[in-house]
Amino acid sequence: MNRKAFIQASLLAFVATLATGAIAQAADAAPKAKVVFQVSDGDTAKWNLAFNNAKNVQQELGADKVDIEIVAYGPGIGMLKADAPVSNRVTEATQSGMKIVACENTMKGQKLTKADMNTAIGYVPAGVVEIMKRQGEGWAYIRP
């Protein structure tokens, strides 16, 4: 291979690498949708709507093809108490692969400890900051 051919081949290889990278990224990104649900109302009907919404997303896209996180804060924190009227649905949702988290700021404000909460859930320091972070990472945001 002479020098000119080498340079041309290198350029082609460079462009091909870029293109392959872009295609690989697209292929990676496509199958996994991501959505964060906000629950900030103290309203059982809204809690059920949030679970219905999240379940529909799983059924529509396939539970293994979507990351779902439900963030409860403010008056929505009641959804995640151990004695909440929807506590069965909380447990069921985590078993189906959803991540459900409570806002520790809200808990402090309402004098709740982890002992008061559903054992299936996780915790974040600040619910709103968690939702902001997820949006920044490209997750869709749904506020039922």
Does the footprint of a copy of itself cover residue 79 (CB under 8 A)? no
Does the footprint of a copy of itself cover residue 11 (CB under 8 A)? yes
Nearest 10 degrees: Cα torsion 123, 89, 80, 55: 50
Nearest 10 degrees: Cα torsion 88, 110, 74, 134: -80
Six token digits for residue 37: 């649900």
**Number of helices and strands (H, E) in the chain?**
5, 5
User: Which string of x and - marks every residue 17-56 that binds a copy of itself (by CB under 8 A)?
Assistant: ----------------x-x--x-x----x---x--xx--x
Does the footprint of a copy of itself cover residue 87 (CB under 8 A)? no
Binding-site member from 87, 99, 105, 120 for a copy of itself (CB under 8 A): 105
Six token digits for residue 107: 């808990």
Whole-angstrom Cα distance, residue 10 to residue 37? 47
Size of the site for a copy of itself (CB under 8 A): 41
Contact residues toward a copy of itself (CB under 8 A) are 3-4, 7-8, 10-12, 14-15, 33, 35, 38, 40, 45, 49, 52-53, 56-57, 59-61, 73-75, 105, 109, 125-126, 128-129, 131-132, 135-136, 138, 140-144
